[in-house]
Amino acid sequence: MEVSPIVTSVDPITFEILSHRLYQIAKEMGTALERVGGTVNTTQMHDYMASLYLANGDVLSAGDSMGWHVACAGFAVKRIIERFENDGGINPDDIFLLNDPYLAAIHQSDVYMISPIHFKGKLMGWSATFVHVMDIGAMSPGGNSPGATEICHEGIRIPGIKLVDRGKLRQDVFDAFINMTRQPVMVGLDLKCEIAANNVAKSRMQAMFETYGPELVSAVSSEMIHYSEAILRKRIAEIPDGQWSDTGVIHADDTWKVNLTLTKKGDHLLFDFSGSSPQAKKGINMPYHATFGACYEAILCTLAYDLPKNHGALKPIEVIAPEGTVVNVKHPGPVSLNTTSGGATVKFVANSALTQMLASSGKWHREVMALNAGHRLARHAGVNQHGKYYVSTLSEGALDGTGARSHRDGGDSARGLSCHNIEWLESNFPLLYLFRRNTKGSAGAGKFRGGTGGESALTIHDAPEGKIKGVALGVAGLRNSGQGLFGGYPGAPSLLMLVEGTKVEETIAEQKSPDHLPDLGGNSRLLPYCEFDIKNNDVLYMRMSSGGGYGDPLERDPERVLNDVEDGIVSPEEATEIYGVLIGEVDGAINSAATEKLRASLRQERLREQK
C-alpha cells in the first residue's frame, strides 16, 4: 500500500512543534489532575485520563493516558454533543459530566468530565478527563460492588449533565453528586481536579489558536491523524494475513470466558469476540465501547507504540462483540468490577492475539512479550485512627512483574501505574504493613524470565472499631498472572488471602519480625469477589502477578540463572530442575560441562513419555 506520511499542507518543522505541543497539553492536564486531586487513585496511582478531541469527538491527542479511556471519552464527547447541541446548548466555558457505562464510561466510578473549547465563539474541539472517584454511592464502599447483580446496585449513573454553565459551577448539581457518596469531601476534590485539568486544556488551546491561528492548528490536527492512520495501515499491511485466537477465563462462583479471534487481512484488523460467555450477574461485564477501547489500547501498545495517539490509530480496527455477553453488556447487567476483571481479560486476549500475529512477521517478530492475565486487589474502608470514616485503595496492582520479551527479562514489580507510599497510608488509615517485597520464586521461567511480582501483608492497627472492611476485586480464579510465551512458563498466580486469628500482635510485642506468614499461625482463606472484615490480629496477604517467561528455560544463558540464584529470585533447586543449570555448592560457580550434559538429558526426558 502506498502511503504519504510526510506532511503535505504544513511545513514539517511547524508540524513537529505544534503536534508536540498538543501532546504536552494533554500531559499538562494530567499534571493538573495530580496536583489538584486529593485521593490516592489520582495523586499516587495515576488512575486517570486526560486527552484532547476534535470538534466532532474524534481523538486528537491522548498524551500518555490509558488508551481504552481515551477511546471511551471520545464516545462520551459524541454522546454529549448528541444530548446538548439542541438541548441547552454547548456554550463557551461549559463543562459536562458523564459516567453512564451504557453510553460511554467503563463503570460508574470512572467519572468523565467533558469540556468544549471555543475560539472567538466557534467550537474548535474538546478536552476530556476521568478520575476514578473514591466513592460513587454503590453497595460497597469504593464503587466496586461484588454483591451487585444489576446496574442499579452500583451507584450514581449520569448520562450527561452540565456541571459548569458558561464558567459558573452549578453548585446544586455539584452538591447533589457528592451528597450521594460516602466521601463527599474527597469526591468533591476529585471533581474539582477534573474541572481544573479541563480549564488548563482550554487555556492552552486558546493560546495556541491565538498564536498560530485556528486554520494552522486544524491543519496540523488533520495531518497528525492522517499520519498515524497511514503509518499504522502500512505496518499492518506488511504482516502476513492470518487468524489468531485466545481465550481468557475468570473463575468465581461461576466461570466466564472471553473468546477472541483476530483476523488480519490487508491493512485491516478484525477483533471478533463471538463465543464469549453470556453476561454475568456480577460486575465483570464490559460495555461495547470499553471492549473496543481495550483493543485500541492493545494497538497503541504494539504496532502504534511510537505514533501520535489519536483517531488515526482507531480507523484500521473493527470490533465484533455480541450483545448480551461479558464483552457487550446490556441493561441491567452490572459492571462495577469490570476494569480489573472483564477489562483485564479482554486486554489480555487482545494483546495475546496481536502478539501471535507479530510473531509471524519477519519485521516485528522480536517485538513481542509475554502477557499478564490480571491480578487481585482490594479496597478498604472504615473508621480511621483519627475517628473519621474513610474509603481508600490498596494499589499494590502496580507491583505486578512484567512479562519477558524476546530479547530481555521482564521488569520486577514494574507495571504501568504506581503504588501508594506505605508511610502515607499508615498515617492516614488504621493499617500496619508487615512487609512489601518482591516474591521469591514467582517469575515465569524461560529463555528470558518474567519479572517478579510484589507481595504485601498488612494488619489493622489502632482501629477504633477493632475492624475495617475490605472489598476483593480483580481477575478471580487462579489462571490470572503472567502467561508464558512460546514455551515460557507462567508466573505464580496472584492471590488475595485473609489469615484470621494470627499471633501478629504478640509477635510484634515480642519485638520479632512478622515477615514470615507461616510463623504467625491463624486460618487462611482465599478471597473471591466479596466484602470481608479485617479484624484485630487478622492479616491480609496480597500477592501480585508475576511476569510469564519467554522461550525454553533450557536455552537461558546459565550466567543469568546464576545471577537470579544470587539475587534470590530463583532457588538452586529451580536452577537445576527448570533451567538445567548446575551450580557448585562450594565455589558457587556454574559447572558448564555438567550443565550441558544435564540439559541434553532433560530434553531427552521430555521425549521419553508422551501423552
Partner 1 sequence: MNHPLRENLEIHSGDGTEWVRCTRCQHIHCRADQDWRKFCTTLLLPPTKAGPLMDSLAGQYLLRQVYCPSCGALLDTDLVEEAEGS
> Under rule CB under 8 A, which residues in 398-437 are in contact with partner 1?
406
Task: In angstroms, give the least distance from the CB of 458 to partner 1.
Answer: 20
- Nearer to partner 1 by Cβ, of 209 and 550: the residue is 550
- Nearer to partner 1 by Cβ, of 166 and 366: the residue is 366
The size of the interface with partner 1 (CB under 8 A), counted in residues, is 44
| Element at 208 (helix H, strand E) | helix 184-212
Determine if 518 is a binding residue for partner 1 (CB under 8 A). Answer: no
Query: Using H for helix, E for strand and C for coil, what is the string for 495-533?
Result: EEEEEECCCHHHHHHCCCCCCCHHHHCCEEEECCCEEEE
10 Å CB burial of residue 13 (0-12, 13-18, 19+) is: exposed
The two beta strands, 495-500 and 255-265, are unpaired
Q: What are phi and psi of 79, to 5 degrees?
A: -65, -35
Whole-angstrom Cα distance, residue 201 to residue 118? 11
Determine if 495 is a binding residue for partner 1 (CB under 8 A). Answer: yes
Please give the angle made by the CA atoms of 138, 139 and 145, to the nearest 5 degrees.
85
Secondary structure (DSSP) of 309-368: -SGGGTTTEEEE--TTBTTB--TT---TTGGGTHHHHHHHHHHHHHHHHHHT-TTTTTS-
Determine if 447 is a binding residue for partner 1 (CB under 8 A). Answer: yes
Whole-angstrom Cα distance, residue 561 to residue 583? 9
> Under rule CB under 8 A, which residues in 453-482 are in contact with partner 1?
478-479
Determine if 488 is a binding residue for partner 1 (CB under 8 A). Answer: yes
Piece of the chain touching partner 1 by CB under 8 A; list 328-336, 416-424, 546-554, 587-595: 546-554
- Nearer to partner 1 by Cβ, of 153 and 251: the residue is 251
Determine if 44 is a binding residue for partner 1 (CB under 8 A). Answer: no
**Is it true that the peptide bond before 334 is cis, omega within 30 degrees of 0?**
no
Cross-strand bridge partners of residue 495:
543
- Nearer to partner 1 by Cβ, of 331 and 606: the residue is 606
Task: In angstroms, give the least distance from the CB of 427 to partner 1.
Answer: 32
- Interacting residue with partner 1 among 13, 172, 215, 362 (CB under 8 A): 362
- Interacting residue with partner 1 among 361, 372, 413, 576 (CB under 8 A): 361
Determine if 511 is a binding residue for partner 1 (CB under 8 A). Answer: no
Piece of the chain touching partner 1 by CB under 8 A; list 122-130, 512-520, 548-556, 584-592: 548-556
> Under rule CB under 8 A, which residues in 553-592 are in contact with partner 1?
553-554, 574, 577-578
- Count other C-beta atoms under 10 Å from residue 606's C-beta: 9
Q: What are phi and psi of 378, to 5 degrees?
A: -150, 155
- Nearer to partner 1 by Cβ, of 70 and 373: the residue is 373
- Nearer to partner 1 by Cβ, of 440 and 467: the residue is 440
Piece of the chain touching partner 1 by CB under 8 A; list 120-128, 205-213, 442-450, 557-565: 442-450
* Cβ atoms of 377 and 394 closer than 8 Å: yes
> Contact residues for partner 1 (CB under 8 A)?
240, 356, 359-362, 365, 406, 439, 441-442, 444-445, 447, 478-479, 483-490, 492-493, 495, 526, 550-554, 574, 577-578, 602-604, 606-607, 609-611
